[in-house]
Structures are given as structure tokens and as C-alpha cells.
Chains A and B, each alone.
Chain A
Amino acid sequence: MAVAELSAVDAADRAVIPRRVKAIDNPPAWLIAVGWVVGLFLVLPTLIVIPMSFSTSTTFAFPPVGFTWHLYANFFTSSTWLLALGNSVLVAVLTAIVATALGTAAALGLHQLTGRAARVVRTLMMVPLVAPAIVIATAVYITYLQWRMTGTLAGFVLAHAAISLPFVVVSVSAALSGFDPLLLRASASLGATPVRTFIRITAPLISRGIVTGAIFAFVTSFDEVVIAVFIHSPTFQTLPVQMYNSVTAEIDPTISAASSLIVVVVALLFLAPLAFRRRKGRAGK
């Protein structure tokens, strides 16, 4: 999301500020009120899981009663929840590695290629973004049944890597668009091999795009529900699957603690590149 945020802000800054007309043109009070209501509608429902995670109630009843760390203790002592968390982290890390490696290579290739075939490939790479997850999930599930890959680490990683690939390709491509190709020729003329050029020249310059892509891939996998619900097995499941089951199959309030933890962790992961960028920006000044 960091990239989108950046580009949206940039676009707005370019487009809006110079044309803004002051004083006569302030937004009316009712519009500001609507803005507040919509903003709260976006934010509040998600935050409700945090107070719920300290509730002493054994159901999902609202409002939360009392205050206890019991649900967190549950989460960190239950072997089911911990195993699911461990699987999720493992799958997400491996997904990030696979998707970042393949996606970065693909973005580098696409950046140098022009013409119809390259355009077709570029479009194909975006298909996982627009295809509904349920269609992918059911199709992959049936195929995995034949390949005996349901409930396997490899099955999870490959499926998650495939759907996160577009994020890496997009973010690395965005970084490459500001990259001067003359640097490649300069490096080659000084005798560097393509691999050395990539390590010494290209990679450092597009590192932000690669890091953003890797974070996207990690979060996409860590939070992926639909495919995981289909391809999991009783012996191998991820955290979202366990959360899904704790709502549908068993009423397990531990999900409140799990939800709150994920909300915080994912928020931190997305804020990380922002902090990174700010530090870099300051260092630059």
C-alpha cells in the first residue's frame, strides 16, 4: 500500500494544491461532518477487536466485560494456535522469498522488453489480481487433490507466491521506472558482468521497490484466507484457517486475541517502509 499512498499523495499534491483557491472556497460544515462519519465507519469496526480481546466473556458478546489477559495466555499456550502461527510465519517468509526472487527477475526482464509479446506477458502477470480468489481457490484445490499437495508446505508457498507475484512485479517495476539504463552500459563498459552489475548497481537503486514487494508478498500470504481454507489439512493449517474455524466450527474467543495481534503486526509491517523512507529522506538532507 505504501506505493499507492505515495503516488496518490504525489498526484494530489501536483493536481490540487496549485489550483486551490482559498477563503471563498472552504468545504461546507455538512461535508466535513459526512467525512467524519465515513472515516469512523472505516476505522471503528476494526478497532473493536482490541477491547474484545481483553473480555472475560466466553462468547463473542458485546460489549466486552471485565479485563483479563486470559485470551492472550490462551493464544500463547495453545499448541493449535501456536502451530498455526508458526506455519503462517513459515509460509509467509518462504512466499516472500520465492515471490520476491521471481517477481524481481520478471520485472527486470519486462523493463527491458518492448512490443506486443511483452505487453501480453505483463497483462498475464496481473491476472491473479483480478481473478476472484474463490475461483482460484476451488480450482487449485481440485488440482492439488490430484497432485497430493493439499496440506503441504510447498502447496501453500507456491499458491501464495503465485498470487503475490503481481505485487512484487508492480512495485519493482515502479522502482525501475526511475532507473537510468545508461548506468547498465557504463557498468558493462567498465568490465562488469551482468550479475555483478545487478548486485552493485541495479539492486541498491531499486532496493525500496524490492523491499516493498517483499513486504506485500509476506502480508498477502500471512493474511490469505480463501485459498488456505480450501488447501489446508487437519495436520497443516495457517493462522487465518484456525481463525476461520474458530468462528465457524467452534466458538473460540481466542480469535479476539489473534485478531488484535494480527492487526498490530500487519500495521507495523506496513508502517515499516514509511519509517524507513523517512529516515532515508532525513539522511539525504
Chain B
Amino acid sequence: MSMTKPRASAGTLGNWLILVPALALLVVILGVPLVENVVRSFGLPGQFSLDHYAQIFTERTTLNIMFRTLVAAVVVTAITLVLGYPYAYLMTRVGPGARGVMLTVVLIPFWTSALARNFAWIILLGNNAPVQQFFQFFGLPNVVLYGTATGVTVAMSQVMLPFMVLPLFASLGAIDRRLLLAARGLGSSPIVAFWKIFWPLSRTGVVSGIILVFTLSLGFYVTPALVGSPQQSLVAQLLGQETTQLLDFAGAGALGTFILVVTLALVVWANRLGGSVSAIGAVSAAPGGAASGARAGRGR
């Protein structure tokens, strides 16, 4: 017995030691830049000021961009919920074969290059393209969505849809459908049975999907930069512009820190709400959604 104790602690030390390279990489390559960002945001060394943060909330253009970003994120979240819920619900109702196909379809956007997808939307939303022809069919001849906030919203909705469907599927799949039959047996209509039984039980999935999509939408860079226009830019583009064109590193530091804090706060809040959100914490936040979370579908 006396032999095992020191060996156990040596083992623990070893386990901590093999964490070091990974932690060092994260601290040096991500930690240092992010901390420097925060330091820069408070102004020149030795002159602590909150001016750069004040600017975010007082400058007219910045406020407009933030408001536009907020609206885009809300609309994208709403669209993905409206499209994703019936899809996820249907996934729980079909046989295993069809479910496999439906799951593959959801995962296809993860399998395809972010740029290829955005490029596809440039084609689709352009002049004389399918979307315009679609509107022409309904008597609206000159709808060009390329370069508009609406076009960006449509493209973002497609990119974000899987992030809504996966948590929804995890949560809807866990609901005992016999409860619905019980409600029907007790005389309620299908709509009432859905509204009183199914919908409340699916709330965890809905909440996680909403928070996930909303959070990711706030930080979107590639889609608004490629499909949108500088006149209709979102907050991520503003951050990019401040960094590379205006070289306002302090302002960029403040704006970047602000976006990061809002995002992390939303994620922490989502985790507090529990449900499958903790599992989908592993879903990629890469705007453009290149790869995705390894545990995305696990849920409860």
C-alpha cells in the first residue's frame, strides 16, 4: 500500500505534464493575442481609459452596424428555427434509413468548404440568377439580393441551419411519443396535443438551438464580406476594417473584446440553462462553419 501512493502521485504529475504542450500552444498562440487585445483596448500604456469602449456605444455608424448585426442574427435564428423544427421533427418520425439520409443532408454543409458555399450564394443571389427568376415568377422583376443585408441573411440561414437542426434532433428524439397518443386518447386535437405536450418537452433543444445560432451569427465574417456590401456591413466586418484598413488597434481591441465577452457570456448562460447545450458547446464557432462539433448530436 505504501508503494502505491507515491506512484499514483507521480502518475498524476505525468498526466499534468503531457497537458503542457497543448496548453502552451493555446496560451501562446491564442491567449497572448487575446490578452494583448484587452490591454490595448484600455488605451496607451499607463493611461487607463474606457474611451474605446465608450466609442462603441456612442458612434452613430458603429451603433447602426451593431443594430444591423443584431437584426440579422435574430432573423437568421428565426428562419432556422422555423425551417429546422419541422425538419428535426420529421427526422424523429421516419424510419432509420430515411433518418440516415436526412442526417447526411444536414451534415453536408459541414462537409463542404465554407468558401465554396459562400461562392455558391454569390452566384445564386446575383443578377438573372435563380433567386431573381423566382421573384420574377411572382411579378417582381428586379430583386437583386446580392450585396444586401437580406441576401446575407438568406445565405447565413442556410449555413446556420445544421446548428439548429442537430440540437433540436437530439432533444426531439428523446421525447416519448406515447405521451402524444395519451393526449389524443384523452380527447385533445393534434394541435392541442402538440402545443401542450410536445412543444414544452422540446424546449431544451429549442433554447440550445436558438442560443447557438444566435451566438454564431453575431460573429459571422465571411458571408457578409462576400455576399453583402461595405455599405451594409456587420460587426465582424467593422472589426476587420478597424484592424487592417484603419489600423485602429485600440478600437479593434475594444470591439473584439466586446464581441468575445458577449459571445462567451451567451455560451456560459446557455450552459447554465442546461439541456443539450453543454454537449453542443463543442460545435464549431468558426463563422463559415467549416467543421463542426464532434459531439453535436449527443444531447440528452
Contact = CB atoms under 8 A, between A and B. Distances in A.
Interface of A: 1, 3-5, 7-9, 11-13, 15-17, 19-21, 24-27, 31-32, 34-35, 38-39, 41-43, 45-46, 48-49, 52, 60-62, 98, 101-103, 105-106, 108-110, 112-113, 121, 124-144, 158-159, 161-163, 165-167, 169-171, 174, 194, 212, 216, 219-220, 223-226, 230, 240, 243-244, 247-248, 255-256, 259-260, 262-263, 266-267, 270
Contacts, number: 354
13 contacts: A1-B107, A9-B297, A19-B178, A32-B90, A43-B108, A45-B117, A102-B25, A112-B12, A127-B264, A135-B259, A212-B294, A244-B226, A259-B115
Nearest to A41: B158
A11 B115 contact: no
A23 to B, nearest CB: 12
A109 to B, nearest CB: 4
Interface residues of B, number: 114
Given A11-B299, A138-B239, A162 B120 contact: no
Contacts of A226: 221-222, 286-288
B106 A42 contact: yes
B113 A263 contact: yes
Q: Could you say which of B225, B281, B290, B291 has the most chain A C-beta atoms within 10 Å of its C-beta?
A: B291
A28 to B, nearest CB: 9
A113 B16 contact: yes
Given A8-B103, A109-B15, A240-B115, A169 B295 contact: no
Contact of B166 (A8, A20, A126): A8
B122 A60 contact: yes
Nearest to B124: A45
B86 interface: yes
B120 A49 contact: yes
Contacts of A266: 111-113
Interface in B131-174: 158, 161-162, 166, 169-170, 173-174
B87 A38 contact: yes
The dominant DSSP class at the A interface is helix
A219 B290 CA distance: 8
Contacts of B91: 12
Contact of B169 (A8, A134, A136): A8
Contacts of B240: 134, 137-138, 230
The 10 closest A-B CB pairs, nearest first, are A8-B297, A132-B219, A259-B116, A106-B22, A139-B33, A143-B33, A4-B296, A170-B294, A134-B236, A102-B22
B9 to A, nearest CB: 12
A20 B177 contact: yes
Given A216-B291, A224-B290, A5 B86 contact: no
Given A5-B103, A62-B124, A263-B112, 9 more contacts: A1-B107, A61-B126, A62-B126, A132-B221, A134-B219, A134-B236, A142-B36, A159-B29, A230-B240
Contacts of A171: 294
A175 B50 CA distance: 47
B286 A106 contact: no
A142 B33 contact: yes
B263 A46 contact: no
B119 interface: yes
A45 B219 contact: no
A31 B89 contact: yes
Contacts of B117: 45-46
Interface in B154-211: 158, 161-162, 166, 169-170, 173-174, 176-178, 181
Contact of B18 (A48, A106, A131): A106
A65 B24 CA distance: 53
A129 B158 contact: no
Contact of A11 (B123, B173, B244, B286): B173
B266 to A, nearest CB: 9
